[in-house]
Chain A
Amino acid sequence: MNPLSFLTQMIRIAIPYLFAASGGVVAERSGIVSLTLEGFMLSGAFGAVVGTHYSGSPWVGVLTGMFGGLVFALIHAITTIRYRADQVVVGVAINLLAIGVTRFFLKLFFASSSNSPRVAGFGGNIKAAGFDNPLLWLGLLSAPVVAFMIYRTPFGLRVRAAGEHPEAAESVGVSVERVRYLAVAISGILAGLGGVYLALDQHQFTDQMTAGRGFIAISAVIFGRWSPIRAAGACLLFAAAETLQIQLQGSHAIPSQFIEMIPYVLTIIALAGVVGRAVPPAALGKVED
């Protein structure tokens, strides 16, 4: 096994997780449950393909993909923040809705129930091994940028306050609702970018192409104990396991299903507190009347 090719493949696999997990950290730190990342990613991927297909430019696809994630994020934000709908229920529904909407419009726009036509993408130089794709660099930057925002800016302080002690935040004049709206919107855009990377990397949209990646991202958020940098570390760890599985294929050393389980098993272990208990933000998912 070539260590350099292992590393590059691992990073390419990690990029969608990094985007989505960074978004998940922002929303969850503000107190909103992010079971929606899967749906945001899927709508982002679809938006990217539609935009790229009709304009011919992947940059337009980036914008429409971000917009796709944002639209679903706003549905989640309005129903759970303004109308106080249960975040878990709406989260599950957002994921179902994203599958349905992308399927319906796949049929409407491209007359197919499985995949879109091929679209343009970034880079493509074989020697660059994917590192000539600007989205890859953006993905690597997403976690440090979110970390800076959460820990070093006034907005980040408000996000953390909204997630830990919303009453205290309100009492000093912070609009918790507005902070949460922004946090969910940011999570939609970031997770949407994860989907954009995925779709443009494969040069097409396929039905349910995110295939559980949003849930791996939420695992990374929990396993990383809601810290952007640790969550990014978890993303890299999960991607490394996946790369190992791909590179070991054919040798049948470990059944692939057991590698697939790693992120989920680690998340449960983290939640059960066997090695350093994962404690969520105090106000996560709570609705005050």
Chain B
Amino acid sequence: MSVSSLAGGAQPTFAATPWRERAEEALIPPLVALLVALICGDLLILSYGQSPAAVYRLLLEGTWGNAYGFGQVLYKATTLAFTGLAVSFGLRAGLFNIGGESQLAAGGFAAALTGLALPLGTPLIIALILCMIAAGCAGGVVGAVPAYLKTRFGAHEVIVTIMLNFIVLALLNWFIAGHLHVPETLHTPEIHAGILPRLADINPRFHGSAANLALIVALIVASGVWFYLFRARGGYELRAVGLQPEAAEYGGISVGRVWMKALTLSGMIAGMGGINYVLGYKHYYEDGFASGAGFLGIAVALVGRNHPLGVLLAAFFFATLSQGGLAIHAFVPKQMMDVLQGVVIIAVATAVPEVRRVLRSARKRGDA
């Protein structure tokens, strides 16, 4: 299973392609996908006997049109930013991390355990850092397993990460259901330390929405990923391995070591996403809280073209879709958004190689 077509983000070569051509290859596929999604959305809305224009207006009003809806979008975008960054980080090294789901859950679980273990009154910044380290380590361990099996035995990371999702989620379910839950529920007790302030505590207009300071952490992590990928030596090696493992090996880079590092860090990033729910929203770990955010991270990375800035925008877009579903539910079932998510992923995945081919042949004709 080759992911080389996705590894380099927009461009197949390192830096030789001019800026404008790279931008075209990066931006056209998501725009095509958006158009396809709009058309599909129209059809679904019409099948329900409603007016597309009215429903789309409702969608915008319920998401970006008021502070509560916008806060909910930001909250959902935060988790997706973490899982999306995780997937894109792996893809830059040519590795497909489909384990975001279990890495996120393991991270949230570790954050909750740490928050429970810390004494009441631990200063927020210390508690936050400890919880994040715990969450990152838990996610990192889940990410390191497929990395090790790939470097040592050549086991394909796609299958191993999928299988690990089921194994880790079953283990966590066993921990929660069998040992740690508050009776009658499937969640842990509330944490004592590390509770993140919500945006509503700073600006009361966000009242009721779950958006919290994990958003800032996500932005910091995204900048860190950008710096590492494009300004640090390790990131250069990582991208080199992603584009051409054989050439990188020949150039003196240890491909196995880069794979280990890339998948472990990818797992850590996804794991840290667990703080958004655990420290910022519910203040406990609940079985199944990750549901779908790990898989959507793949969509976010794909639409964001594996660039941290693109990933943030894509996370915002998918969060809008999901929150928008709730806004239009009275007129069209929110399940419409589940359909559109799938459509967007398929459309981008299809448009990426096609747009590249069309642009290439157009340029060749232009040169000749």
Query: How far in angstroms is the closest Cβ of chain B from A198?
Result: 19
Give the number of residues in A that approach B within 8 Å (Cβ atoms): 49
B166 adjacent to A83 (CB under 8 Å): no
A85 adjacent to B346 (CB under 8 Å): yes
Question: For residue A218, which residues in chain B have a CB less than 8 angstroms away from its CB?
Answer: 159
B335 adjacent to A79 (CB under 8 Å): no
**Complex Cα gap A90–B298 (Å):** 10
Partner pick for A83 among B44, B174, B296, B350, CB 8 A cutoff: B350
Q: A103-B338, A258-B174 are in contact. Are A285 and B1 (CB under 8 A)?
A: yes
Any chain A CB within 8 A of the CB of B2?
yes
Which of B152, B164, B335 has the most C-beta atoms of chain A within 10 angstroms of its own C-beta?
Answer: B335
Any chain A CB within 8 A of the CB of B113?
no
A261 adjacent to B295 (CB under 8 Å): no
Interface of A: prevailing SS:
helix
Q: A84-B353, A93-B345, A93-B346 are in contact. Are A267 and B338 (CB under 8 A)?
A: no
**Complex Cα gap A84–B4 (Å):** 12
**Complex Cα gap A255–B98 (Å):** 26
Question: For residue A98, which residues in chain B have a CB less than 8 angstroms away from its CB?
Answer: 342
Q: A50-58, A172-180, A268-276: which one contacts chain B? A: A268-276
**Complex Cα gap A118–B153 (Å):** 49
B336 adjacent to A104 (CB under 8 Å): yes
Question: For residue B5, which residues in chain A have a CB less than 8 angstroms away from its CB?
Answer: 84, 86, 287
Q: Mark A20-55, 1 if CB is under 8 A from B, else 0.
A: 000000000000010100000000000000000000
**Complex Cα gap A87–B336 (Å):** 24
B353 adjacent to A85 (CB under 8 Å): yes
Interface of B: prevailing SS:
helix
Any chain B CB within 8 A of the CB of A99?
yes
**Complex Cα gap A285–B158 (Å):** 11
13 other A-B residue contacts (CB within 8 Å) besides A90-B350, A215-B166: A33-B1, A35-B162, A83-B354, A84-B5, A85-B352, A87-B1, A89-B349, A97-B346, A100-B340, A101-B339, A219-B163, A264-B166, A271-B156
**Chain B residues close to A by CB (< 8 Å):** 1-3, 5-6, 44, 47-48, 96, 98, 149, 152-156, 158-160, 162-164, 166-167, 170-171, 173-174, 177-178, 295-296, 298-299, 302, 333, 335-343, 345-346, 349-350, 352-354
Can you sample 22 A-B contacts with CB below 8 Å? A84-B353, A84-B354, A85-B349, A88-B158, A90-B350, A96-B295, A97-B342, A100-B335, A100-B342, A104-B338, A107-B335, A215-B162, A219-B163, A257-B173, A258-B170, A260-B166, A261-B166, A261-B167, A268-B149, A271-B155, A271-B156, A285-B1
**Chain A residues close to B by CB (< 8 Å):** 33, 35, 75, 79, 83-90, 92-94, 96-101, 103-104, 106-108, 113, 212, 215, 218-219, 222, 255, 257-258, 260-261, 264-265, 267-268, 271-273, 280, 284-287
